[in-house]
Chains A and B, each alone.
Chain A
Amino acid sequence: MGQNKFPKPIKKASLNNNLSHRSYASKIASPPKYILRAEDLSVGFSGKTVLNKINMDVAEYAVTAIMGPSGCGKSTFIRAINRMHDLDDKATVSGKLYLRKDDLFAASAMEVRRRVGMVFQKPNPFPSMTVAENVLAGYTLNGISLKRHEKEQLVEENLQKAALWSEMKDRLHDRGNFLSGGQQQRLCIARSLAIKVEILLLDEPTSALDPLATLKIENLIQKLKKEITILMVTHNTGQASRISDYTAFIYLGELIEYNKTKKIFTVPKDKRTERYLSGKFG
């Protein structure tokens, strides 16, 4: 089967098992079972710090929302997780990131990106590929050849997971960029799911979509969290409160508050969180 063909991640650095030693900012709650941990993660562009010492654990099989005003560094944060900043010479990244026990900065970027999926704000299916080819793109692009029945199975399975199968089963050989925006975005999700990523990063996945398409994606995210961890950036506080289990609030590159979504929305500890949620800025 396809999922066995990826090389096993090499365990380069293992995390100190005794987690209680870590000094947390008192207001940051650590979820009981986490899959991703950021330690003093900082990102700058040409010397200007954009993200300042983020410490955060992301819960496994849950939806974590990242909120904050425009330009506060949300995208910068999640792009650090799948090493997108490697592509930018101006970007400097420091601190630590662990996925399960693996140091993400010690592994190769390609290896990290095979385990950490990313869906972008603007749907970006590959225009030269069909719907089916888009779903299988992760395999093609990694030079993994599949048998015909493996392909068929992967396409159906992942389009099902992305709630796209019924709409797409007769259009598998259409070009991916002729779909509607919402369909394209779900196709991009299917593409990431197909390579069995462990955590899916979503950067404002619904901001380019209409309410109905947004609703479909929100339902999809709710369903997906049973088998995958989801970390999503959203501008929409309503969306965060509807679908996320944990919410992080970032302001000017700092993680201001991170807690169960219910707590954040009912009893925010920080003034700035409260003001953001009540629509005073951002």
Chain B
Amino acid sequence: MKEQGLGRPRDIRSLAGYGNIARRQFKNRLFTGLCLFLSILVVIPLATILVVVIKKGGLNVLSAGFFTEITPVPNAAFGTGGIANSLVGTMLLCVLGSLLAVPLGIAAGLYMAFSKRKKFCDSLYFFCNTLQSVPAIVTGIFVYTVLVKPFGSFSLFSAAIAFALVMFPIIALATAEIVKLCPLAIIEASYALGASFYKTIVKVVLPYSAAGIVNGFIVALARSAGEGAFLLFTAFGNPFISYSLWQPTSALPLTIFQFAISPYENWQEIAWGASFVLMALVLLVNIVSKLIYRKKF
């Protein structure tokens, strides 16, 4: 073979003494140290938030009725009242929002991954990406304009729609990405046994991608449940437990926002407690998703 000056590998022996080893090790250490320093810098605010929330809110949670009682009257004694109405509201939102967003999100994701109508898929992809980056408060105003104003009332229904709108693009994009990783070999194997597209999806592709899709769902749920902005325009808040679709409802982020800026100290305490609960929930959900993901891959 013809020797080429540039591409020729250097003689291995000459590499052994190449460069100043001590200097290279120093540079290496410098770089590692810098990385560590920057990581700590990032962790500090997070850790501070955690510590403050636990200190200020952790205690409240321990009070007897925190999970079972509803919003106390302003200036009531500390330790009376709780966040039962917000918890119920958040649970209802999670359930209703998921019922809407999960089937639609998975369907859209599958469509984007498998449809041969490339143009439409690209538009759908673009739509999901855009929707994902729309600030939740804008989603809130949108739902307010099309659902709350015409119906004449804030409601659980409108909040659930906004909730689902936040979840949908995350689930759809996660599904599309994860489903594309399904090996062509097992999809072909399924077709080769005479399976239809539908059966192939349900019995082969979805089981293969289940962990990834569940992970996407959980991320979406955590994001949406922790979001307060759109609730201002849709759920509005409710000091009582409400199960009605057409009534305003409370939810954890809403309680935090409204009570933290209230002048009443007992309400501010409740806001800290609710922050603690919300953070614990989101953390829990994230840990669960990581566990599911790790088990599979």
* A→B interface (CB under 8 Å): 82, 84, 87, 89, 110-111, 113-114, 117-118, 120, 122, 124-129, 137-138, 140-143, 188, 191-192, 195
Contacts and interface: CB of A to CB of B under 8 A. Distances in A.
How would you classify the secondary structure of chain B's contact residues: helix, strand, loop or mixed?
Answer: helix
Q: Which 6 A-B pairs have the closest CB atoms?
A: A141-B195, A128-B207, A114-B194, A124-B185, A113-B194, A118-B192
A122 B218 CA distance: 35
Given A120-B185, A122-B185, A192 B193 contact: yes
A31 to B, nearest CB: 25
A65 B129 CA distance: 51
A141 B116 contact: no
Given A89-B116, A128-B207, A141-B204, A113 B191 contact: yes
A128 B191 contact: no
B188 A120 contact: yes
Contacts of B116: 89
A166 B207 CA distance: 29
A126 B189 contact: yes
B199 interface: yes
A84 B185 contact: no
Taking each of B116, B194, B203, which has the highest tally of chain A beta carbons within 10 Å of its own beta carbon?
Answer: B194
A138 B185 contact: no
Interface of B: 116, 183, 185-186, 188-196, 199-200, 203-204, 207-208, 210
6 contacts: A84-B191, A126-B190, A128-B204, A128-B208, A137-B190, A141-B194
A44 B140 CA distance: 53
A124 B188 CA distance: 9
Contacts of B199: 140-143
Contacts of B192: 82, 84, 113, 117-118, 120, 192
Nearest to B182: A127
A260 B153 CA distance: 83
A84 B191 CA distance: 8
A124 B182 CA distance: 12
A191 B116 CA distance: 29
Contacts of B208: 127-128
A137 B208 CA distance: 14
Among B116, B193, B200, B203, chain A packs the most CB atoms within 10 A around the CB of B193
A184 B126 CA distance: 41
Given A120-B185, A126-B186, A141-B200, A87 B194 contact: no
A124 B193 contact: no
Contacts of A143: 199
A141 B188 contact: no
B213 to A, nearest CB: 13
A122 B204 CA distance: 17
Contact of B203 (A110, A118, A120, A140): A140
Contact of B191 (A87, A89, A195): A87
A125 B186 CA distance: 7
B194 A138 contact: yes
B12 to A, nearest CB: 33
Contacts of B190: 126, 137, 141
Contact of A127 (B186, B188, B193, B200): B186
A77 to B, nearest CB: 15
Contacts of A128: 204, 207-208, 210
Contacts of A192: 192-193
Given A125-B186, A141-B204, 7 more contacts: A113-B191, A120-B188, A120-B189, A140-B199, A191-B189, A192-B193, A195-B194
A87 B191 CA distance: 9
A142 B188 contact: no
B183 to A, nearest CB: 7
B113 to A, nearest CB: 14
Contacts of B188: 84, 87, 120, 124
B202 to A, nearest CB: 9
Contact of B195 (A110, A122, A124): A110
Nearest to A110: B194
A192 B193 CA distance: 7
A110 B189 CA distance: 13
A11 B193 CA distance: 20
A124 B189 contact: yes
A192 B203 CA distance: 17
A114 B183 contact: no
Contacts of A141: 190, 193-195, 199-200, 203-204
Nearest to B210: A128
A110 B199 CA distance: 12
A140 B204 CA distance: 10
A110 B204 contact: no
B207 A191 contact: no
A156 to B, nearest CB: 19
Contacts of B196: 110
Contacts of B186: 124-127
Contacts of A140: 199, 203
